């Protein structure tokens, strides 16, 4: 009796502390960083994860996951979400411009009402690092991180990545590309000496630099370059050939910048050196095609080889619009030797670590409640989310696509336009 | 001995040549060394919609000779225990550009679109195909035993497509699927009107597209009736007149009107597909399949009624306006139309997608069942085997595991619809073409010594 009383008292106190908006019970949790899954209840209050434990919580909304896998909401590290609606329609594309060479930012072009957002969200993607297509210099063009909640009031991290590329090209030697990157980074180092807020000083700085003048650089370009050497922005360099990747390692060490390799078809050849240099790689694990002379070393087990060497691996997709398919890529990486935990963590926690997206990408106490309950193994492409939660809000999984499907699978006695 | 062989070769060549005057570019395909094999205790999707658990398959002399339990075998039969593994027909891709857009994707071997005139019915994809494309072997590792290569979609009428066995050899004729019909590639919509409209020439609109097809078919009808008129003449009358001069373009189109060449029509929008069906009725030809058909679900019944297959992606969309209305259940909706008489095909149009047609089918199946259908995996297997075989006109030979058919089959490590499952062994005409565990696989000339001189490309 006494015991029971104590217990009830405990519950009472406990409940007063731990009343929640949402509790997800009996979840098999892959938390975005652990090597193994564990079973628990996830306790969401307001927009954050208040706790994860085996205890019972009381909440306004209880979702019994009943042994389903719960992961952090997926974050795709290289997308066009929000800035390209239809690839072949240039009026719907805001991913490119050549007025600014380095400081071009897509941030303000982002359309939170793009149809890609509900679509990718309903497939488990909650975050996107949206990037411009590369500009006319070997580095330049800035991308931003967005939360895919579709709200007009955008949640983003503005200009957290810069794009770049080294490789075979119709109009320039890679030797020029490398030299130009080095010269621009030297210019960036020089810019540390001036007050970037002073437009006069920046203009004078440009006038004094033959390189800056020759390239028609603008103050925006100088400020963007300066962010690189002050480590306020991460450079994502699209590089495939092993010898070029070694050059990137040298550049990173010489100029002390944050670099991530994308593409990286021959990265496996220099995996140990990438690990030592702490350079993560974004790869498409399904792309084993020697699609250019820079990519002759393309193979299916690159992700596995990189993981083995200790390189952080993230994923991109072979075709646009379906960025949620990074999980099919991760599944194929596992099928080709990558560990399950490295693959599943590469879909969220690794991305938030590498790009410094604070409080997201993992299921941990105090983190934003961005998570997905899956109806099966999330790395099986046939699986789908049963619930997607962003910032503690249960998302509507309706998309334009699901609306069209309903239209054409019901009410067939009426014309489609009256359904 | 040497001389004798030379004479024999000369004799064979000359006799072949005299034959070849009528039928150029005949298949010279022959299988790899065949084995007689009993696959014991595997699980089977037969490609015709059936599932057999723990069942034996016997192949002999290149064909399937028995499927069942406790089958008697001859002494020379190799017994392979495939307990817990799955056997399916060889995967068939009805839409590939391997060889005509080979890897590496460089301008000098980009040979898939003869984009110099809106109607180029006279060109044949097989005359562009690079036999050393390193992509065939990658597709083989994904279980693909047969694929159909089409010209691109720049033109209203792009030319002839070809069906090949995925057995990489030094000449294209030695890869051609014996007795497979040619296809004719036609294209609706944005691509032809963009390519020619940008040059200020017709077509620049969809109505221009339609006029273009109809003008071509009118010419083809005229050509065919002249030919038939000539053929109907008595031998004496033939001697007194000239045989109509061959016209490569119209010969292909006439082949369609004679039901010898199958129309494969790139077409995304439902309304345009309906228009294409009208044109086919006007000129009395059959459309075998619409390809890409993002909006097939909007007219699934119309397709089923007209016996037209739809070759589709599981989920790709949005790259063009005509590809905007994607629904994931598209394939399932086409499949289930008119009480399940629809013909759905999962195609790739991609050198990566072709390696994972099983995964693409898995996505389409799961989307269909989520939409409320009750489709089995055995039925979904048809989308990547028997249905594309029918659309390629080779279903009598391949596309399902039936006694008497070619022993084109795949032994999978597990459930063929799982991302983790691999093709372990791939057989073409009863001969092993790929064996994962024994690292037996074709290596194209391109791959030899290209990174490290002493090795193959990725080794």
Same domain, B314 and B434: no
Flag whether pLDDT at B10 surpasses 60: no
pLDDT at position B14 is: 39
Same domain, B251 and B372: yes
CB A382 to CB B366 under 8 A?
yes
Look up residue A49 and give its DSSP letter: E
Mean pLDDT of all residues belonging to chain A? 94
CB B458 to CB A318 under 8 A?
no
> Which residue among A297, A321, A332 places its CB closest to the CB of B319?
A321
CB B422 to CB A401 under 8 A?
no
CB of B104 within 8 Å of a chain A CB? The answer is yes
- Give the pLDDT mean for B347-375: 97
CB A404 to CB B327 under 8 A?
yes
pLDDT digits (tens, 9 = 90+) for B331-354: 999 999 999 999 999 999 999 999
d(CA B268, CA A221): 42
Neighbouring residues of B38: CB distance < 8 A, sequence distance ≥ 6 = B56, B57, B58, B71, B73, B77, B78, B79, B80
pLDDT at position A416 is: 85
Helices (H), B145-189: none
Neighbouring residues of A348: CB distance < 8 A, sequence distance ≥ 6 = A32, A71, A72, A73, A74, A75, A360, A361, A362
Flag whether pLDDT at A12 surpasses 50: no
Among B382, B398, B414, the domain-final residue is B398
CB A287 to CB B417 under 8 A?
no
Chain B residues close to A289, C-beta within 8 Å: 103, 135, 138, 351-352
Chain B residues close to A408, C-beta within 8 Å: 297-298, 300, 327, 333
pLDDT digits (tens, 9 = 90+) for B58-72: 999 999 999 999 999
> Which residue among A88, A286, A404 places its CB closest to the CB of B190?
A88
pLDDT at position A158 is: 98
A-B C-beta contacts closer than 8 Å: 124
Same domain, B381 and B418: no
**Residue B395: what are its φ and ψ, rounded to 5°?**
-65, -30
CB A408 to CB B297 under 8 A?
yes
pLDDT at position A274 is: 98
| Signed CA dihedral, B373, B368, A396, A111: sign only | negative
Chain A residues close to B192, C-beta within 8 Å: none
Neighbouring residues of B246: CB distance < 8 A, sequence distance ≥ 6 = none
What tokens does A213 get? 């003048």
CB of A335 within 8 Å of a chain B CB? The answer is yes
pLDDT digits (tens, 9 = 90+) for A358-414: 999 999 999 999 999 999 999 999 999 999 999 999 999 999 999 999 999 987 788
For residue A57, give the 3-state DSSP assignment.
coil
Q: What is the CATH number of the domain that holds B107?
A: 3.20.20.140
CB of A404 within 8 Å of a chain B CB? The answer is yes
pLDDT at position B23 is: 80
What tokens does B148 get? 């159909």
CB of A385 within 8 Å of a chain B CB? The answer is no
- Give the pLDDT mean for A168-187: 96
Residue B247 lies in a domain: yes
Same domain, B77 and B215: no
pLDDT digits (tens, 9 = 90+) for A63-112: 999 999 999 999 999 999 999 999 999 999 999 988 999 999 999 999 99
Cβ atoms of A148 and A81 closer than 8 Å: yes
CB B297 to CB A405 under 8 A?
yes
What tokens does B265 get? 């029509």
pLDDT at position A376 is: 98
State in words which class domain A74-359 has.
Answer: alpha beta
Same domain, B116 and B250: yes
CB A319 to CB B422 under 8 A?
no
d(CA A252, CA B112): 41
CB B315 to CB A292 under 8 A?
no
Give residue for tokens 């007149």: B241
| Signed CA dihedral, A135, A138, A141, A144: sign only | positive
- Give the pLDDT mean for A315-330: 95
pLDDT at position A265 is: 98
Bridge-based pairing of strands B37-45 and B51-60 is antiparallel
Neighbouring residues of A122: CB distance < 8 A, sequence distance ≥ 6 = A385, A388, A395, A397, A398, A399, A402
Q: How confident is the model at residue B20 (pLDDT cuts 50, 70, 90)?
A: very low
> Interface pTM (ipTM) of the complex?
0.93
Cβ atoms of B262 and B181 closer than 8 Å: yes
Chain B residues close to A86, C-beta within 8 Å: 318-321, 324
Q: Which of residues 366-385 of B touch A (CB under 8 A)?
A: 366, 370-372
Residue B142 lies in a domain: yes
**Residue A302: what are its φ and ψ, rounded to 5°?**
-60, -45
CB of B347 within 8 Å of a chain A CB? The answer is no
pLDDT at position A370 is: 98
Same domain, B156 and B294: yes
- Give the pLDDT mean for B358-384: 98
Q: How confident is the model at residue A1 (pLDDT cuts 50, 70, 90)?
A: very low
Same domain, B177 and B39: no
Flag whether pLDDT at B131 surpasses 50: yes
Neighbouring residues of A67: CB distance < 8 A, sequence distance ≥ 6 = A26, A28
Chain B residues close to A402, C-beta within 8 Å: 327
Same domain, B74 and B208: no
**How many Cβ atoms from other residues are within 10 Å of residue A232's Cβ?**
13
pLDDT digits (tens, 9 = 90+) for A238-264: 999 999 999 999 999 999 999 999 999
CB of B134 within 8 Å of a chain A CB? The answer is yes
Instruction: Tell me the nearest-neighbour CA distance from A248 into chain B, angstroms.
Output: 20
pLDDT digits (tens, 9 = 90+) for B149-167: 999 999 999 999 999 999 9
> Which residue among A86, A299, A405 places its CB closest to the CB of B320?
A86
Among B383, B398, B413, the domain-final residue is B398
Bridge-based pairing of strands B157-165 and B144-149 is antiparallel
Same domain, B109 and B212: yes
> Which residue among A287, A297, A332 places its CB closest to the CB of B419?
A332
Residue B12 lies in a domain: no
pLDDT at position A19 is: 59
pLDDT at position B250 is: 98
Domain total of chain B = 2
Q: Report angle CA A270, A274, A280 to the nearest 5 degrees.
A: 125
Nearest Cα neighbor of B39 from B60, B18, B20 is B60
Instruction: Please report, rounded to a whole number, the percentage of residues in chain A having pLDDT higher than 90.
Output: 89
Q: How confident is the model at residue A136 (pLDDT cuts 50, 70, 90)?
A: confident
Instruction: Tell me the nearest-neighbour CA distance from B234 into chain A, angstroms.
Output: 57
- Give the pLDDT mean for A46-72: 94
- Helical (H) or strand (E) element with B251: helix B248-257
**B294-329 CB burial, b ≥16 within 10 A, e <16:** bbbbbbbebbbeeebbbbbbbbbbbbbbbbbbbbbb
R_g of chain B computed on alpha carbons: 23
CB B319 to CB A319 under 8 A?
yes
pLDDT digits (tens, 9 = 90+) for B420-440: 999 999 999 999 999 999 999
Residue B233 lies in a domain: yes
Cβ atoms of A109 and A83 closer than 8 Å: yes
Residue B452 lies in a domain: yes
Instruction: Please report, rounded to a whole number, the percentage of residues in chain A having pLDDT higher than 70.
Output: 95
CB of A88 within 8 Å of a chain B CB? The answer is yes
Structural domain boundaries enclosing B49: 31-89+403-459
Chain B residues close to A381, C-beta within 8 Å: 359, 362-363, 366, 419
Q: Enumerate the domain spans of chain A.
A: 1-73+361-419, 74-359
Same domain, B138 and B46: no
Q: How many residues are recorded in chain A?
A: 419
CB of A411 within 8 Å of a chain B CB? The answer is no
Helix axes A326-335, B357-370, angle to 10 degrees: 130
Same domain, B276 and B342: yes
> Which residue among B326, B352, B420 places its CB closest to the CB of A318?
B352
Same domain, B78 and B197: no
Neighbouring residues of A165: CB distance < 8 A, sequence distance ≥ 6 = A134, A138, A177, A237, A238, A239
pLDDT at position A172 is: 93
CB A384 to CB B319 under 8 A?
no
What tokens does B324 get? 């905007």
Neighbouring residues of B13: CB distance < 8 A, sequence distance ≥ 6 = none
Q: What's the fold here for domain A1-73+361-419?
A: Urease, subunit C; domain 1 (2.30.40)
Chain B residues close to A334, C-beta within 8 Å: 419-420
Flag whether pLDDT at B9 surpasses 50: no
DSSP structure string for B26-37: -----PPPP--E
pLDDT digits (tens, 9 = 90+) for A378-387: 999 999 999 9
pLDDT: is B86 or A418 the higher one?
A: B86
CB A405 to CB B319 under 8 A?
no
CB of A328 within 8 Å of a chain B CB? The answer is yes
Flag whether pLDDT at B28 surpasses 60: yes
pLDDT digits (tens, 9 = 90+) for A189-216: 999 999 999 999 999 999 999 999 999 9
CB B321 to CB A402 under 8 A?
no
pLDDT at position A58 is: 86
Mean pLDDT of all residues belonging to chain B? 95
Flag whether pLDDT at B6 surpasses 80: no
């Amino acid at each position: 009796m006494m015991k029971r009383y104590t217990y009830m008292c405990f519950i009472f106190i406990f409940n007063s502390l731990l009343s929640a908006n949402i509790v997800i019970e009996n979840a098999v949790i892959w938390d975005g960083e652990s090597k193994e899954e564990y079973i628990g209840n996830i306790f969401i209050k307001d927009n954050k994860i208040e706790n994860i434990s085996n205890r019972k919580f009381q909440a306004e909304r209880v979702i019994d996951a009943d042994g389903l896998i719960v992961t952090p909401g997926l974050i795709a590290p290289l997308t066009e979400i929000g800035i390209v609606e239809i690839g072949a329609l240039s009026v719907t594309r805001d991913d490119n411009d050549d007025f600014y060479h380095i400081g071009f930012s897509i941030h303000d072009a982002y359309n939170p009402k793009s149809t890609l957002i509900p679509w990718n969200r309903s497939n488990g993607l909650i975050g996107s690092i949206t990037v411009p297509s590369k500009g006319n210099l070997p580095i330049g063009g800035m991308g931003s991180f967005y939360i895919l909640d579709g709200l007009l009031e955008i949640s983003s991290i503005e200009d957290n990545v810069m794009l770049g590329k080294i490789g075979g090209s119709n109009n320039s030697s890679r030797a020029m590309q490398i030299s130009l990157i080095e010269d621009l980074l030297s210019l960036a180092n020089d810019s540390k000496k001036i007050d970037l807020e002073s437009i006069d000083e920046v203009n004078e700085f440009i006038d004094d630099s033959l390189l800056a003048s020759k390239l028609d650089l603008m103050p925006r370009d100088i400020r963007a370059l300066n962010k690189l050497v002050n480590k306020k922005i991460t450079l994502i360099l699209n590089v495939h050939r092993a010898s070029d990747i070694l050059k990137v390692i040298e550049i990173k060490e010489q100029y002390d910048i944050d670099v991530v390799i994308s593409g990286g078809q021959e990265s496996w050849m220099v995996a140990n050196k990438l690990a030592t240099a702490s350079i993560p790689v974004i790869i498409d694990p399904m792309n084993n095609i020697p699609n250019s002379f820079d990519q002759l070393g393309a193979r299916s087990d690159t992700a596995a080889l990189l993981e083995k060497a200790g390189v952080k691996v993230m994923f991109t997709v072979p075709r646009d619009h379906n960025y949620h398919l990074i999980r099919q890529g991760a599944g194929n990486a596992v099928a080709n030797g990558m560990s399950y935990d490295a693959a599943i963590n590469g879909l969220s926690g690794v991305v938030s670590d590498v790009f410094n997206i604070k409080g997201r990408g993992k299921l941990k106490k105090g983190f934003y409640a961005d998570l997905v309950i899956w109806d099966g193994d999330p790395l099986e492409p046939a699986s789908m989310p049963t619930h997607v939660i962003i910032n503690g809000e249960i998302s509507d999984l309706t998309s334009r696509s699901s609306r069209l499907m309903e239209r054409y699978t019901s009410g067939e006695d009426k014309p489609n336009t009256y359904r | 001995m040497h001389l004798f062989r030379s004479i024999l070769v000369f004799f064979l060549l000359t006799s072949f040549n005299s034959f070849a005057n009528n039928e150029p570019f005949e298949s010279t395909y022959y299988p790899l060394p065949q084995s007689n094999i009993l696959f014991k205790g595997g699980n089977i999707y037969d490609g015709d919609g059936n599932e057999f658990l723990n069942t034996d398959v016997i192949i002999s002399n290149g064909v399937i000779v028995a499927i069942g339990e406790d089958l008697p075998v001859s002494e020379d039969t190799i017994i392979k225990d495939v307990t817990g593994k799955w056997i399916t027909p060889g995967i068939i891709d009805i839409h590939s550009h391997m060889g005509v857009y080979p890897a590496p994707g460089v301008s000098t071997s980009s040979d898939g679109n003869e984009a110099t005139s809106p109607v180029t019915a006279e060109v044949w994809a097989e005359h562009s195909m690079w036999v050393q494309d390193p992509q065939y072997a990658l597709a083989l590792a994904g279980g693909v035993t047969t694929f159909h290569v089409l010209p691109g979609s720049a033109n209203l009428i792009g030319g002839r497509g070809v069906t090949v066995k995925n057995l990489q050899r030094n000449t294209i004729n030695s890869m051609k699927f014996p007795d497979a019909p040619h296809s004719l590639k036609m294209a609706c919509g944005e691509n032809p009107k963009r390519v020619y409209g940008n040059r200020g020439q017709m077509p620049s609109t969809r109505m221009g597209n339609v006029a273009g097809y109809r003008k071509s078919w009118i010419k083809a009808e005229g050509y065919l009736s002249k030919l038939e008129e000539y053929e109907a003449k008595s031998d004496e009358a033939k001697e007194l007149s000239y045989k109509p001069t061959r016209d490569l373009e119209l010969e292909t189109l006439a082949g369609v009107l004679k039901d010898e060449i199958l129309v494969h029509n790139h077409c995304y929008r439902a309304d345009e597909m309906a228009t294409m069906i009208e044109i086919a009725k006007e000129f009395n030809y059959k459309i075998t399949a619409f390809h890409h058909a993002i909006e097939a679900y909007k007219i699934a019944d119309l397709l089923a009624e007209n016996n037209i297959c739809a070759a589709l992606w599981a989920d790709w969309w949005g790259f063009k306006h005509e590809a905007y209305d994607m629904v994931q259940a598209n394939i399932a909706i086409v499949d289930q139309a008119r009480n399940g008489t629809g013909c759905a095909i999962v195609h790739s149009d991609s050198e990566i997608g072709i390696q994972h047609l099983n995964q693409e089918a898995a996505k389409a199946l799961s989307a269909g069942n989520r939409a409320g259908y009750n489709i089995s995996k055995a039925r979904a297997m048809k989308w990547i085997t028997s249905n594309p075989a029918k659309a390629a006109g080779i279903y009598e030979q391949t596309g399902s595991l039936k006694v008497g058919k070619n022993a084109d089959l795949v032994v999978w490590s597990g459930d063929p619809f799982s991302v983790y499952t691999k093709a372990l062994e791939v057989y073409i005409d009863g001969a092993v073409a790929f064996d994962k565990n024994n690292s037996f696989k074709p290596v194209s000339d391109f791959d030899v010594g290209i990174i490290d001189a002493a090795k193959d490309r990725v080794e």
